[in-house]
Structure 1
Amino acid sequence: MIIKMRIDDRLLHGQVAYSWKSALSYEAIVIADDNAANDEVRKMALKMSNPDGVRLAIRSVEDAAKLVKNPKLQAMKVFVIFSNPKAAYDFIEKIDEKPVLNIGGMQKQDDKVLLSPAVYVSKEDISYLDKIQEKNIEIEVRQVPNEKSKNYTSLKNKLSF
């Protein structure tokens, strides 16, 4: 069972691995990212960040959606991580569950504006996040579990591109 989904363009790092582990008590992490799934060096680096005793799967978005439907994973607490809103949307289109989507970290780029500290979004990102929200998926914005969750819609309404 998916207990939470997260968008973080760094995918798996200490903050995700440890602060969210203590908050969620997840048993498995599924990284749904086409680029990481096809990059052996990146997969090795991600595996080094994985907490002890936690299963880790790094799959394409399509394969990750199939994997979370596996009865073994359905019986576990699963934390799914994406690098961007498009990947999250593509994944959500393929599953039946409706866990909360956390937006944790998206780095600054030329076509992006500040949504919240450490979260920069483009018009395309907003489009995909809006489509996710239309599917009745709750979207929260916060980097770590002990930070107060910010409402995506109110942050989005303050944006100007």
Structure 2
Amino acid sequence: MIQLVRIDDRLLHGQVAYSWKGYLDYEAIVIASEVAVKDSLRQAAMKMAKPDGVRLAIRDIPEAIKLLQNPRIAHLKTFVVTDTVAGAVELLRQLPAGIALNIGGVQKQEFKEKVTPFTYLTTAEKIQLQQLEAAGTAIDFRLVPTDTPQKLGNLIN
């Protein structure tokens, strides 16, 4: 069972791994990233950051979708982390309805506008998120579960 999809351009690090583990009590993490799947150093760092006893899979977006659709893992409480809005949109369009999206840290880059103190998005990304929300996906912005969730509609008009 997929508990949450999260966008965080740092993917898996201590803050994400442990704060969300306490909140979601997940059993598996699926990292869905075109970049991480090709970076053995980053993969090693994520393996060290994951909590003990938690399964970790690092896949590109198409392979992550196949894995998440596999009935053999349907019983596992799964936390999905991707590093881009485009990745999250593709995942959520291919997975069962009703999965919430959390947006964490997305670093400032050229052509990105500040949405929260920790999230910067392009105009196209904002539109994609608005379309996801209009299709029924619950979306919030927060770094850790104890933060007050900020809703997309309150941040982007």
TM over 0.5: yes
**8 Å Cα contact 2:19/2:144 also seen in 1:** yes
CA displacement at 1:20 relative to structure 2: 0.5
What SS class does the counterpart of residue 34 from structure 1 fall into?
coil
Map 1:115-126 → 2, pairs under 5 A:
115-126=115-126
State TM-score, norm by structure 2: 0.95
**8 Å Cα contact 1:7/1:103 also seen in 2:** yes
CA displacement at 1:98 relative to structure 2: 2.3
CA displacement at 1:96 relative to structure 2: 1.9
What SS class does the counterpart of residue 140 from structure 1 fall into?
strand
Aligned partner of 2:154 in structure 1 is: 154
**8 Å Cα contact 1:89/1:131 also seen in 2:** no
1:4-34 Cα deviation digits (max 9, x unpaired): 1100000001111000000110000001111
CA displacement at 1:134 relative to structure 2: 2.7
CA displacement at 1:51 relative to structure 2: 0.9
What SS class does the counterpart of residue 94 from structure 2 fall into?
coil
Residue 53 of structure 2 corresponds to residue 71 of structure 1: no
What SS class does the counterpart of residue 29 from structure 1 fall into?
strand
- What is the identity, as a one-letter code, of the residue corresponding to 2:86? K
Map 1:95-106 → 2, pairs under 5 A:
95-106=95-106
- What is the identity, as a one-letter code, of the residue corresponding to 1:49? A
**8 Å Cα contact 1:2/1:97 also seen in 2:** no
Task: State the percentage of identical aligned residues.
Answer: 43
Unaligned runs of 5+ in 1: none
CA displacement at 1:43 relative to structure 2: 1.2
Cα RMSD, aligned residues only: 1.1
Aligned partner of 1:113 in structure 2 is: 113
**Which segments of structure 1 move beyond 4 Å, counting only runs of 4 or more?**
none
State TM-score, norm by structure 1: 0.93
Aligned partner of 1:137 in structure 2 is: 137
In the alignment of these two chains, the number of paired residues is: 157
Aligned partner of 1:13 in structure 2 is: 13
Aligned partner of 1:39 in structure 2 is: 39
